[in-house]
Amino acid sequence: MTTASQLELAKRDLNKHGFLPLEVDPTIDLVAEINRLKKEKNAVILAHYYQESEIQDIADYIGDSLGLSQEAARTDADIIVFAGVHFMAETAKMLNPQKKVLLPDLKAGCSLSDSCPPAVFRKYKEKYPDHVVVSYINCSAELKTLTDICCTSTNAEAIIRSIPEDQPIIFAPDRNLGAYLQKITGRENMKIWNGACMVHEIFSHEKITKLMLKHPEADFIAHPECEAHILEKAVYIGSTSGMIRYTEESEKDTFIVATEAGILHEMQKRSPNKIFIPAPPNNTCACNECPHMKRNTMEKLYLAMEHELPEIHLEDWIIKEGVKSIDKMLDVSAKAGL
């Protein structure tokens, strides 16, 4: 049982830790407690496929970045608990600003988002005033205020194709997704920001090749945040939801999967008799797990719901300016049936 003074101390230290540094009684049934809090507070838990399995299992909705944004925009819950990373929770707040949006750990960031600081990007953008800015949703709320239209890995191709062919584009912040889009759409007038995801750039070409030789029966599938030399080997390239769907619908039984390892949980759930092999990183660490996504734990989720902290706060001007690029993306997606 947390006392009032322990709670006050924990609130004071919240910013230092990113979460409320309170001990959770190890004997409590976290699943039962989180379900109780969901009902009592009319809260909805939205989780990304890269979250740990227990969090995915307790979520009301699991999805990719596009699905999570659509769900955040339409929910009538009073509280949105975002089991994902900071930019995703910010996006939910921008789409539904009157709701309380909680993120179990405020330090759950994103290397892609960090690779594009808004002040530096503003200067870069000033050099190309005639360019339309398309930003991958994996960027800060402030970067979205400098963006004409956002995209996710599910709708990126449709977003690029919705822009007139003679219109030059700045694409930020993912150089791998940008290069992939350039390749499939044939757009030459695209300037690409030099950012990358630390998880998707770690896969080893050599080890994947060896694994493919060992499992000739397997399909190799990859997320477009991977480098071009990895994507070249893939029979399917797509978003997390696209990859899951592919494995479900394919007649193949075995898949080598190049994206964050948390996705295997949903793949295995949907296809219990199929075999999923995570693509190996270029060293022996667990680098195919996103350290940001994995900052969220069941204990932090419980504490966030119990005390309604940490909460996402955004300045009004950021919400007002930034949401335009997300709304445009949702419009194009809806027209494309996504």
Map residue 133 onto helix, strand or coil: strand
Answer for the pair 230, 258: CB distance below 8 angstroms, yes or no. Answer: yes
Residue among 95 and 293 whose Cβ is closer to ligand SF4: 293
Q: Which of residues 50-89 bind ligand SF4 (CB under 6 A)?
A: 50, 85
- Helix then strand then coil, in percent of the chain rounded to 5, is 45, 15, 40
DSSP string of 256-292? EEES-TTHHHHHHHH-TTSEEEEPPBSSSS-TTS-TT
For residue 91, state whether it binds ligand 13P (rule: CB under 6 A): no
For residue 260, state whether it binds ligand SF4 (rule: CB under 6 A): yes
Number of shown-chain residues binding ligand SF4 (CB under 6 A): 13
Can you read off the two tokens belonging to residue 167? 């219109």
For residue 240, state whether it binds ligand 13P (rule: CB under 6 A): yes
Amino acid (1-letter code) at residue 253: D
For residue 105, state whether it binds ligand 13P (rule: CB under 6 A): no
Provide the mask over 154-193, with x wherever binding to ligand SF4 is found by CB under 6 A and - wherever it is not.
Answer: ----------------------------------------
Specify the stretch interacting with ligand 13P by CB under 6 A; choose among 70-78, 117-125, 152-160, 186-194.
152-160
Pick the binder of ligand SF4 from 51, 56, 138, 297 (CB under 6 A): 138
Q: Find tokens 């939205």 and name the residue.
A: 46
Number of CB atoms found within 10 A of residue 311's CB: 16
239 binds, among ligand 13P, ligand SF4, none (CB under 5 to 8 A by kind): ligand 13P
Provide the mask over 214-233, with x wherever binding to ligand 13P is found by CB under 6 A and - wherever it is not.
Answer: -----------x--------
Phi, psi dihedrals of residue 281, rounded to the nearest 5°: -75, 170
Q: What is the CA radius of gyration of the chain?
A: 20
Phi, psi dihedrals of residue 333, rounded to the nearest 5°: -60, -45
For residue 115, state whether it binds ligand 13P (rule: CB under 6 A): no
Phi, psi dihedrals of residue 58, rounded to the nearest 5°: -95, -5
Q: Which residues bind ligand 13P (CB under 6 A)?
A: 64-65, 138, 152-154, 197, 225, 239-240
Q: Which residues bind ligand SF4 (CB under 6 A)?
A: 50, 85, 110-112, 138, 197-199, 260, 290, 292-293
